[in-house]
Structure 1
């Protein structure tokens, strides 16, 4: 019941936002050349979704995001688990990962371009670097949140390392790990789009930059609307999985 009410409230907010957007444009409170109406942008988006070239660019961006996340997720969780379990190693390396997480990684993009070019690999690697540090930090925190007494008791009763990992660590740390993966995915999308916007031959990011540079605001807003909607959907699906994991942990 609470979930349906929440979804209804969120849908109502977006409908209200669309009405305000349409009203501002219709009443010309803002120059329509700067803010095309919401219905106009929806029509442009509908036309884009029928264009093969646009769908190919959308698929390329989706592939880059997917490959980057497939690489970053297990790697980040593994490193985070190692740093969380091995306290001495964590004390040495954790500050470096926190530092990398706090630095705007866009400043390193020219280096990535020089080393990897402007092709598929560069976008994927840049997405990985955006996601992996978030996942490492949250996984490390998740491992350290597991009471050490649980592990000690399990070992006392003869549990194998595999049993400890699967029956002690995993259930206790899963909700926090899921949060880290969700945030990592969002950072991953940002990284791929930034790389595409800066220099790319294909992808949605390249189109967004081109439309903005050419003052094609109806196309730009349509692209932003689509990317925002897809990102929200991905975020909410992962949030749902996160809530399921949290309820299982409580149960």
Structure 2
């Protein structure tokens, strides 16, 4: 068994101008485009939506599924109305056979796909086991009920309050790594020694930063150590960690790139 190789330390976040240039270059349908939006702008729009819901609710949406949004210190919260809250709680009881107080959903990425992990908690905050197919049905139901949520981030659903809140907390200062500049030449060279093997590159404090870094690894933009060639290229994927942090993984592949993916 090959031991995990740590080849770099965390670095500082890229300039906001670089993130905005990358965001506007992505297609409108790319979920990374939304994740790269400035959190301050997101907070401003959320406050505007909460103050003037009649102006931001799309025409034709049934009153029973209207939602309001607000940004809290822990992350953005979306509020379902009483009817939707009751319907979701009833369905969760049918799926699990028990009363559910909270549902936690986290999106994970693998080499070839992504999926959601689901944890249901009872009134005493003890985990309630889900039956076969339960995780898929639960995540699908909540993602359908809250289409405006940023599902690239972990979400906590309170069945009593009817609120879906982003599970985002700042890393305590004593635990936060000291930012240091990554030596990308050494990182790329280490990855080339073992083609196809994923290496942990570094940790970032926000999803915007890790998306921008992954783009540089895949394209070589402002990172010549990763410049693709006719017969080889670098791939990158991100992994969610605690406290809203993200780890970036890279690998070297001896074949032409088929196209950039998240």
Q: What TM-score, normalized to structure 2?
A: 0.23
Higher relative contact order (CA 8 A, sep 6+): 1
Hey, which of these two has a bigger chunk of helix by percent? 1
Give the structure with higher Rg (CA): 1
Q: What TM-score, normalized to structure 1?
A: 0.24
Hey, which of these two has a bigger chunk of strand by percent? 2
